[in-house]
Structure 1
């Protein structure tokens, strides 16, 4: 059952996305919103906390919350699936498997997934959509011990992360991400409806369980203009690390 603070957060999220509270605008006061929704200030602050974690609003001591962005950003201090991120922004996520095959792990795949070279892995090519439009092409390599569970999922599975948790209790807890830009190849261009050679944002990620066991490694390519990754840091915390590009 959806809790009241989640419902309020969703209402405010839609109002922000719809322009009722544009970027830079202050939200109504706590007392005004608490009265309007018939809840305590504590419940309202839980809703505010959710929106702040998504980068939608900010706050200062003694001042009203201010809208910082119209759509939720993906924070690099938390791990959320594509479907979770999309739904947090009021969008409808979708997906479809284009191809799936088992193969023997290459040396690079084995190293990333902590396997022996030649161990079985599962290669899945999947297109992701937002409100029906293609935005992301995923090339995911799953460790062999997850292959049967992944293959059992429907081809149009909305959230692989949630479905694997529901089906076999698999929790993807940690992720490492590397971002760069690459030109669209033939498959990228066809599936994302862009010209060959168009610049794509690439996120290479490896996801592990709570115990640190690698589950998957993936090469994710986003169509231009469809997503923004935002990083907020401070003198106390910096979630980014600069590394030299691979050659």
Structure 2
């Protein structure tokens, strides 16, 4: 970390660096943070600066502390950064979880209107659809409904969808998921979705509609993911210099 180059106060730069490490999965929820002495040596600053950084993290609910005990990372949803494009499986392993899937569907279907728009095909055109419940350990965490161009069907049909990552296996064939656009909103769980996730019908879900392209800009997938709010939280970092985030009416995604 180059804290000196930041416009933030030094303790805030250190706090941001530690929070990034937590979000990346370097520490599990409930784990203890490095000691003040360790962090003083790591960052080359005084104990007072490290204490200020911890105080800031405590004020934002990232860590907790008790007198005479090491600071602990607060438990809660697994955090996924929106600044890095990684598969569910790779992200799960990065936060110390064992990912798996339960495949519900894998077949060619007519493209619904929203999917057709995202994939750049005509409505009703053939696309390949996979629907999986993604699990962390034994806990259902995400319903993943993904549509691919029909040209990828043969490659995806050869993948063990319950144990393997589609993104990683397509990468073995030189198909690279390079860039993604995400639209995120809140919806109520249908009876089927609630049953799959072990929730009550009507429970709030976080819906992410993702359109992913390869390095040349060709569309590779449109995925509609549903997750309980207590399972996964997304973190977005922005600044005055970067204008990539916009607000749109959720009605345009229906």
The TM-score range, normalised by the shorter chain, is 0.7 to 0.9
Pair 1:226-2:228 in alignment: no
Query: Residue 236 of structure 1: SS of its match in structure 2?
Result: coil
Q: Work out which of the residue numbers 207, 220, 234 in structure 1 matches 2:212.
A: 207
The answer as to 2:183 corresponding to 1:171 is no
Alignment of 1:80 onto 2:92: no
Alignment partners' CA distance in 1, 2:37 and 2:102: 39
Aligned counterparts, 1:25-104, within 5 A: 26=36, 28-29=38-39, 31=41, 69=62, 70=73, 73-104=79-110
Change (3 A) 1:118 1:228: closer
Q: Given that residues 129 and 148 in structure 2 are in contact (C-alpha distance below 8 angstroms), is that contact kept between their aligned partners in structure 1?
A: yes
Helix, strand or coil for the counterpart of 2:81? coil
Match of 1:194 in 2: 199
Question: What TM-score comes out, normalization by structure 1 length?
Answer: 0.73
Are the equivalent residues in 2 in contact too, given 1:93–1:158 (CA < 8 A)? no
Which residue, out of 104, 112, 115, partners 2:118?
Answer: 112
Q: Give yes or no for the alignment of 1:20 onto 2:32.
A: yes
Q: Quick one: distance in 1 between partners of 2:174 and 2:79?
A: 27
Q: Aligned with 1:228: secondary structure?
A: strand
1:143 equivalent in alignment to 2:149:
yes
The correspondence for 1:125, drawn from 115, 124, 131, is 131
* Contact 1:76/1:239, CA 8 A, preserved across alignment: no
Q: 1:28, 1:64 within 8 Å by CA — same for their partners in 2?
A: no
| Structure 1, unaligned runs of 5 or more | 1-8, 34-58
